[in-house]
C-alpha cells in the first residue's frame, strides 16, 4: 500500500484537552512519516472532519433516546454552541476522493455544514422545551478545523480545503490543475463562522441516512 490516510477530528485544531492534544500529536507524527518513508515511496496524509450524524459520540442518539423515553425537555449545553455535521457516507466518499490527489503530508478538510445545537434540538423535537445545562469541562463552544496559523499553508478547492505541509518535495502542480487558490491570511474555518448552515429539512435528510 503506497498511500495511507489517517482519520482525524476537529479537536486536533487548537486543542483544549488531553484528547485533542493527543489527536494533534497523532496528526503531526503521521505527517512526519513522509520524511521517513525513504525509497519505499509511501505517502501519508490526514483527513479532518467534524461530527458524524448519528454516530455514538454525537448528540443525535442522545436526543433520540430522550424523545423515545418521553422526556419533558432536551438538554442543551449552551445556546450559542454550533457544530460541523457530516454523514458517514459523505465521510467515506471524501476519504476515498483524497487518494486521487494526495501527494503526502496534506491535511484534507471537507466543506460541510454547521448547525446550532438549539436548532438541532428544535428540528428533532419542535414541541419539546430546551434546558441549558452548561458547557462541560474541556468542551469547545465552537469547532475549529482550520486555524488562523494554518491559513498560511491552506488551499481552497470547490469542495474542500487542503493544508499543505512544509516538505521540500511538495509540489503545487496537482492543486493548480484543480484551480486551487490560497485562502486569505488569517482565514479561520470554524462552525460559528461557516457560510453553510443546515436547516431542519436538510438535517432530517441527513438523519434519514442514519436509520
- Give dist(CA 86, CA 160) in Å, integer: 13
| Per-residue model confidence (pLDDT) at position 211 | 63
| Per-residue model confidence (pLDDT) at position 38 | 64
Successive 10-residue mean pLDDT values, the chain, 211 residues: 90 91 95 80 92 82 93 94 93 95 94 94 93 88 94 94 86 82 94 92 80 63
| Per-residue model confidence (pLDDT) at position 209 | 74
Catalytic residue among 11, 23, 65, 111: 11
Domain ranges of the chain: 3-209
What's domain 3-209's superfamily in CATH? Answer: NAD(P)-binding Rossmann-like Domain (3.40.50.720)
| Per-residue model confidence (pLDDT) at position 178 | 87
| Per-residue model confidence (pLDDT) at position 191 | 96
Q: Does 131 qualify as catalytic in the annotation?
A: no
Amino acid at each position: 500500500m503506497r498511500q495511507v490516510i489517517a482519520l482525524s477530528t476537529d479537536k486536533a485544531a487548537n486543542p483544549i484537552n488531553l484528547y485533542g492534544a493527543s489527536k494533534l500529536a497523532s496528526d503531526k507524527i503521521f505527517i512526519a512519516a513522509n520524511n521517513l518513508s525513504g525509497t519505499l515511496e509511501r505517502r501519508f496524509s490526514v483527513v479532518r472532519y467534524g461530527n458524524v450524524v448519528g454516530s455514538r459520540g454525537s448528540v443525535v442518539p442522545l436526543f433520540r433516546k430522550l424523545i423515545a423515553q418521553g422526556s419533558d425537555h432536551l438538554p442543551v449545553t449552551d445556546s450559542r454552541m454550533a457544530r460541523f455535521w457530516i454523514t458517514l457516507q459523505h465521510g467515506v466518499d471524501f476519504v476515498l476522493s483524497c487518494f486521487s490527489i494526495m501527494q503526502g503530508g496534506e491535511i484534507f478538510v471537507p466543506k460541510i455544514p454547521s448547525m446550532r445545537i438549539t436548532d438541532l434540538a428544535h428540528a428533532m423535537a419542535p414541541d419539546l422545551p430546551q434546558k441549558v445545562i452548561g458547557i462541560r469541562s474541556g468542551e469547545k463552544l465552537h469547532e475549529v478545523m482550520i486555524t488562523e496559523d494554518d491559513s498560511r499553508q491552506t488551499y481552497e478547492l470547490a469542495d474542500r480545503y487542503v493544508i499543505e505541509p512544509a516538505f521540500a518535495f511538495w509540489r503545487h502542480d496537482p492543486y493548480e490543475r484543480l484551480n486551487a487558490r490560497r485562502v486569505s491570511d488569517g482565514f479561520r474555518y470554524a462552525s460559528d463562522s461557516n457560510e453553510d448552515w443546515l436547516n431542519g429539512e436538510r438535517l432530517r435528510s441527513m438523519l434519514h441516512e442514519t436509520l
